[in-house]
Amino acid sequence: MTHRPATTDLDIHPLIAGRWSTRAYADRPIDHAKVVNILEAARWAPSAFNAQPWRFVVFEKSGDAAAFARAFGTLAPFNQGWNTNAQVLVAVLTDTLNAKGEPNANAAHDAGAAAMALLLQAHAEGLAAHTMSGIDADAFRAEFAIPERFKVLSVISIAYHGDQQTLPAALLEREQGPRARLPLETIAQFGGWQTAG
């Protein structure tokens, strides 16, 4: 496993600092029980009114190669290129309606919380997981008969960590480049909104 902890300004939990979105995957099957464990972590994410609007459509290459290939076919070509060794694809969906059939304004936020729990559990299990927005959501919806009320948000690919040196040069450069985030003072304002002067 490639260890690339974030260089944070302050100490944060190693599980969070250590999680990153690699593209170097090993062509090695993942045990189904481990996949279920990752989904169990997502199940316990918080949500507004405990609505739990997230839904996951899971494709395991070793369990159902045909279904996996159908899901893989809906990924953007760039994502197909580096995901050849991906073992699991998890489509992240959210129910856009609440129990009363009204729009759920928190649906995407809550599904994001569940997806983050999934990513952290995958990292804790020694797996690599990478979230992608590059999916043809309409094609995925048609391919798997997804009801209209569910929005396709992203796909997470999961595999064991692989050898970075197998990546094309452009991806290897991105893989080995510095991990960066906006400074804390850019994303957090204390006491109210501050207008730049």
What is the band of 196 on the pLDDT scale with cuts at 50, 70, 90? low
The predicted-structure confidence for 103-151, as pLDDT tens digits, reads as follows 999 999 999 999 999 999 999 999 999 999 999 999 999 999 999 999 9
CA dihedral 136, 43, 34, 141 (to 10 degrees): -20
Kindly indicate the confidence band of residue 65, based on its pLDDT and cuts at 50, 70 and 90: very high
- Tens of pLDDT, residues 148-167: 999 999 999 999 998 887 88
Domains with residue ranges and CATH for the chain: 26-177 (3.40.109.10)
Helix/strand/coil for 24: coil
Residues 85-95: tens digit of each pLDDT: 999 999 999 99
Angle at 115 between CA 25 and CA 93, to 5 degrees: 105
